[in-house]
A and B are shown apart, each in its own frame.
Chain A
Amino acid sequence: MTELQQRLATGKGKFTPLYEDLDTGPVDYEDSISPEFFEAEREAVFRRSWLYVGRSERLPRPGTFFTRELNGLASIVVARRKDGVVNAFHNVCAHRGNKVVWQEHPQEESKGSCREFACKYHGWRYGLDGRVTHVTNEEEFFGLDKDALRMPPVHCEEFAGFIFVNLAPDPVPLRAYLGDRLLELEAYPFGEMTQHYGFSAPIRGNWKLAVDSVCEWYHPPYVHARFIDKDVAKAEKMVPPPDSYHYDLFTPHMLTSVPGPPPLPPREPGTAGPAARDQKWVYRLFRAGLFGPDDVPDLGPLPGFLNAGNIKSWGNDQFWLFPNLSVQIWARGFYITYTYWPEAVDRHTYDIDLYFVPPKNAQERLAQELVVDSTIEFAMQDVNTIEATQQGLSTRANRQFHLSDQELLIRKFHKTVRDTVAAHDAKEGR
């Protein structure tokens, strides 16, 4: 072991055997290549889980709204009502089904601020709660029950500034769905981190394979070798040892905690040294790297739920909110959300959103820019690997695959999806 690896090693045993519902045998990946499974998953998981659709800061005042295209699931409007409450409804007119809220392109998402929504087709209007307020030439209709007319409601709840919707007719409340461990997230100052960067990529791979790619820390010396060391043999020695990470499972949700380098000590301006073609010099220059800015904003004492595994040099906690949201809270005072929206068995949209405390000056602004650019350069490397895996799996040349201990979240995540589908099928008598 290298000095770094010795310093971070814990001597902990394996994680997988700690969880009774996990075995250690080979796995198959039919759940990522079968079109039938994809349809069943959409019904059992996506039509019945709480789905994250945006941060509360997107709706700063009553009358503000945004639309979401939940591909193959629904087209919805999320709006803040006059009483301040955020609610959601299907983006469908009660008259003849026209999509009510859109700008220029009906396929694209939109946002804005208004008192009422007016249908572009025949001028019916709806309040911020989705109820009809105006029917054009109402007397021309036959027995309309105007009080019942509305854009159909969707269950919508906020938690810690995250807005969720649920398409099921009668879902469990959001807080019960999240459970005690995730409710602790409410103590984190997400609301102070309003400096927002968002990115979106279409990926020709199953959404679960994309989740897999950031659930384990086995791939970095290979996929990201160029960032660590051009010589893979050296890169392998520069990553933390497997027992330095921390994992926890609280079905259906999960956690992985990651070690990371401590911030560089403060330095006087002008002391970065002579310019060099060396990325480590660039990191010193801008005082930032993949793990965040070196000058960490003062957020007061951090909530005790973070770094539950007592990692010696803690980098981040990544909370997996079933099914398709990860909230990654970094030791250096920022957070990233990752969201996966399936479109077909072999296609999804991958959204990455980064949030920082607004920078006080150019130096802080540039440090954040470097963190953002690093995150996306790394993510770009992951994306093609996901597509390559999809192609390999879909040949079915191999049907049994092998997961190591540090891939336990992958084992658990696929099992949770399959169990959710099986439970739904059983309930429906299939």
Chain B
Amino acid sequence: MTTATSGARTLPERFADLERWVADWARPTRQERYDMRLSKKYDELEEFYDAIAPRVEEAIDYLNTRDLTDLADDDARLLQLLYSMILVSYAVNVFMQPRIPDSGAAFFDTTAEPAV
């Protein structure tokens, strides 16, 4: 059900235009999403944010009709894109750079997170 193992890049049909973002950003763990944020340049983060932001409400509306505990792979990837958009929003709107200013080498390892 995760993108990492299947390698599939499809989204629910009405969100097919967002599939170019799946390879980088539809990632099942927060750690992978955060690593991706740090690996990108600021303008790449802006581009991702600007692509996803206008579609978020529609995506939530759609995902709200699905059972979270039994998500199809396409739906899970769409949800993961939204997780990434949240994580990227701080970089784009608050810090104006991928990394938190003055955070140096500070880093939190994830010790627990929900399966979906």
Please encode chain A, from 354 to 374, with 1 for each CB lying within 8 Å of some chain B CB and 0 for all others. 000001111101100110111
Q: Does A426 contact B (CB under 8 A)?
A: no
Return A234 CB to nearest CB of chain B, in Å.
15
Q: Which of B60, B94, B109 contacts A269 (CB 8 A)?
A: B60
Alpha-carbon distance between A200 and B86 when the two chains are bound, in angstroms: 21
- A285-B57, A380-B100, A387-B104 as given contacts; A366 in contact with B110, CB under 8 Å: no
When the two chains form their complex, are residues B93 and A381 in contact, meaning their CB atoms are under 8 A apart? no
Please encode chain A, from 376 to 396, with 1 for each CB lying within 8 Å of some chain B CB and 0 for all others. 110111011001000000000
Write out the residue numbers on chain B whose beta carbons fall within 8 Å of the beta carbon of A269: 57, 60-61
Q: Does B7 contact A (CB under 8 A)?
A: no
Please encode chain A, from 266 to 294, with 1 for each CB lying within 8 Å of some chain B CB and 0 for all others. 00011010111111001001100000000
Please encode chain B, from 85 to 99, with 1 for each CB lying within 8 Å of some chain A CB and 0 for all others. 011011011110000
Which B47-102 residues have a C-beta within 8 angstroms of A? 49-50, 53-54, 56-58, 60-61, 63-64, 66, 68, 79, 82-83, 86-87, 89-90, 92-95, 100-102
Q: Does A116 contact B (CB under 8 A)?
A: no
Q: Does A146 contact B (CB under 8 A)?
A: no
Alpha-carbon distance between A372 and B110 when the two chains are bound, in angstroms: 11
When the two chains form their complex, are residues A279 and B79 in contact, meaning their CB atoms are under 8 A apart? no
Please encode chain B, from 13 to 47, with 1 for each CB lying within 8 Å of some chain A CB and 0 for all others. 00000000000000000100000000000000010
Write out the residue numbers on chain B whose beta carbons fall within 8 Å of the beta carbon of A274: 54
Q: Does B112 contact A (CB under 8 A)?
A: yes
- A275-B53, A384-B106 as given contacts; A366 in contact with B111, CB under 8 Å: no
Q: Which of A198, A201, A277 contacts B49 (CB 8 A)?
A: A277
When the two chains form their complex, are residues A201 and B94 in contact, meaning their CB atoms are under 8 A apart? no
Q: Does A400 contact B (CB under 8 A)?
A: no
Return A226 CB to nearest CB of chain B, in Å.
5
When the two chains form their complex, are residues B111 and A200 in contact, meaning their CB atoms are under 8 A apart? yes
When the two chains form their complex, are residues B104 and A384 in contact, meaning their CB atoms are under 8 A apart? yes
Name, among A277, A359, A387, the residue most crowded by chain B CB atoms within 10 Å (CB to CB). A277
When the two chains form their complex, are residues A201 and B86 in contact, meaning their CB atoms are under 8 A apart? no
Nearest CB in chain B to that of A352: its residue: B108
Q: Which of A270, A360, A370, A384 contacts B57 (CB 8 A)?
A: A270
Q: Which of B58, B90, B95 contacts A373 (CB 8 A)?
A: B90
Q: Which of A227, A351, A362 contacts B68 (CB 8 A)?
A: A362
When the two chains form their complex, are residues B92 and A370 in contact, meaning their CB atoms are under 8 A apart? no
Q: Does A353 contact B (CB under 8 A)?
A: yes
Alpha-carbon distance between A379 and B110 when the two chains are bound, in angstroms: 14
Return A110 CB to nearest CB of chain B, in Å.
13
Write out the residue numbers on chain B whose beta carbons fall within 8 Å of the beta carbon of A121: none
Return A416 CB to nearest CB of chain B, in Å.
28
- A365-B68, A366-B82, A380-B103 as given contacts; A282 in contact with B108, CB under 8 Å: no
Write out the residue numbers on chain B whose beta carbons fall within 8 Å of the beta carbon of A275: 50, 53-54, 56
Q: Which of A277, A352, A362 contacts B64 (CB 8 A)?
A: A362
Write out the residue numbers on chain B whose beta carbons fall within 8 Å of the beta carbon of A374: 90
Write out the residue numbers on chain A whose beta carbons fall within 8 Å of the beta carbon of B60: 269, 362-363, 366
When the two chains form their complex, are residues A376 and B108 in contact, meaning their CB atoms are under 8 A apart? yes
Alpha-carbon distance between A379 and B100 when the two chains are bound, in angstroms: 11
When the two chains form their complex, are residues A199 and B109 in contact, meaning their CB atoms are under 8 A apart? yes
Return A385 CB to nearest CB of chain B, in Å.
8
Q: Does A15 contact B (CB under 8 A)?
A: no
Q: Does A399 contact B (CB under 8 A)?
A: no
When the two chains form their complex, are residues B54 and A200 in contact, meaning their CB atoms are under 8 A apart? no
- A369-B86, A380-B103 as given contacts; A200 in contact with B49, CB under 8 Å: no
When the two chains form their complex, are residues A272 and B57 in contact, meaning their CB atoms are under 8 A apart? yes
Alpha-carbon distance between A278 and B54 when the two chains are bound, in angstroms: 13
Alpha-carbon distance between A270 and B90 when the two chains are bound, in angstroms: 22
Write out the residue numbers on chain A whose beta carbons fall within 8 Å of the beta carbon of B30: 372
When the two chains form their complex, are residues A226 and B53 in contact, meaning their CB atoms are under 8 A apart? no
When the two chains form their complex, are residues A365 and B79 in contact, meaning their CB atoms are under 8 A apart? yes
Write out the residue numbers on chain A whose beta carbons fall within 8 Å of the beta carbon of B112: 196-198, 353
Nearest CB in chain A to that of B87: its residue: A373
User: Apart from A196-B114, A197-B113, A276-B53, what 10 extra A-B contacts exist at CB < 8 Å?
Assistant: A200-B108, A200-B111, A201-B107, A227-B94, A277-B46, A277-B49, A373-B87, A373-B90, A376-B108, A383-B103
**Subset of 14 A-B contacts with CB under 8 Å:** A196-B113, A197-B113, A198-B112, A198-B113, A200-B109, A201-B109, A275-B54, A279-B89, A286-B56, A362-B60, A366-B60, A373-B87, A381-B102, A381-B103
7 shortest interchain CB distances as A-B pairs? A362-B63, A198-B112, A198-B111, A275-B53, A199-B108, A383-B106, A279-B93
